Amino acid sequence: MRLSEILDGIRTGAEETPAVMAAIREAVAELRRNGTGLHALTVGEPFPDFMLPCPTGRLVERDELLATGPLVVTFFRGHWCPICVAALDAMLECLPAMRERGAGLVAVSPETSGNALRPGFKAPPGFRFLSDVDNGLALSCGIAFKTPPAYRALLSREGCDLAERQGSSAWFLPVPATFLVDREGIVRWSFVDVDFTRRAEPAEVLAALRALPG
């Protein structure tokens, strides 16, 4: 089943709670009005250098990861987001095919201290999970945004305190984005959409990966 079909099912379920869907639609509309994501990193640009902590606290550098092959970098808001979980699970299912092409998968989350990970989650070979402290990398990629009031209220009602989960009172989140970065650090494919109910289709990521020279 394609990820888009799974997300359609999640959206259909959310429609049963009109207040939730109203808050989501209002938030997406505000992001579009504000031009959020219009200055996001594009194909042909260098992916920002970074040094981010993994769940054990070790700092991981961009070039360390690129030394072994191209990277699929996907931004993950947190385990509290069912759409993020479905999207990451779909990417992980495609990880063996990515590894056949020499690529690795990196999930970047603004949450700290392992908050975004499911209890007991064990990273498969070729996958890294990194914490984007204070959304620094998301800001460099042009995809960070201040959580709109309606959506912030919804998260608060649902018991999701981003200030606690991220260790910051800024209440920033990344726009759903996935980037394919070649070994030279250049973006060769990207997906950015302010509608956080839509995500990159893993099959399209794989197609872009197979199209890379070499």
CA dihedral 109, 200, 37, 104 (to 10 degrees): 50
Q: Are strands 177-181 and 187-192 parallel, antiparallel or unpaired?
A: antiparallel
Question: Distance between CA atoms of 15 and 126, rounded to whole angstroms?
Answer: 36
Phi, psi of 188 (to 5 degrees): -110, -10
Q: Which domains does the chain have, with CATH numbers?
A: 3-116+124-210 (3.40.30.10)
Rounded to whole angstroms, how far apart are CA atoms 35 and 29?
A: 10
Residue 7's pLDDT is: 85
Name the E strands within 132-200. 144-146, 172-174, 177-181, 187-192
pLDDT, tens digit (0-9, with 9 covering 90-100), for 89-125:
999 999 999 999 999 999 999 998 666 666 667 778 9
Rounded distance between C-alpha atoms, residue 190 and residue 9, angstroms: 24
- Residue 125 sits at φ, ψ, to 5 deg, of -55, 135
Q: What is the DSSP string of 104-121?
A: EEEEEES--TTTTSPTT-
Distance between the two ends of the chain, CA-based, in angstroms? 29
User: According to the model, what pLDDT value does residue 15 have?
Assistant: 75
As given in the structure block, the two tokens for residue 168 are 């910051």
What does the alpha-carbon distance between residue 198 and residue 155 come to, in Å, rounded to a whole number?
18
Does an H or E element contain 3, and which? helix 3-14
Would the CA dihedral through 180, 33, 23, 150 be positive or negative? Answer: positive
* Spatial distance between the Cα atoms of 142 and 165, rounded to a whole number of angstroms: 22
| 12 Cβ contact partners less than 8 Å away, ≥ 6 residues apart | none
One digit per residue, the tens of pLDDT, for the chain of length 214 reads 799 999 888 888 877 788 888 888 999 999 999 999 999 999 999 999 999 999 888 999 999 999 999 999 999 999 889 999 999 999 999 999 999 999 999 999 999 866 666 666 777 899 999 999 999 999 999 999 999 888 899 899 989 999 999 988 899 999 999 999 999 999 999 999 999 899 999 999 999 999 998 6
Half-sphere exposure of 110 (CA within 13 A, CB side): 31
Q: What is d(CA 176, CA 78) in angstroms, rounded to the nearest whole number?
A: 11
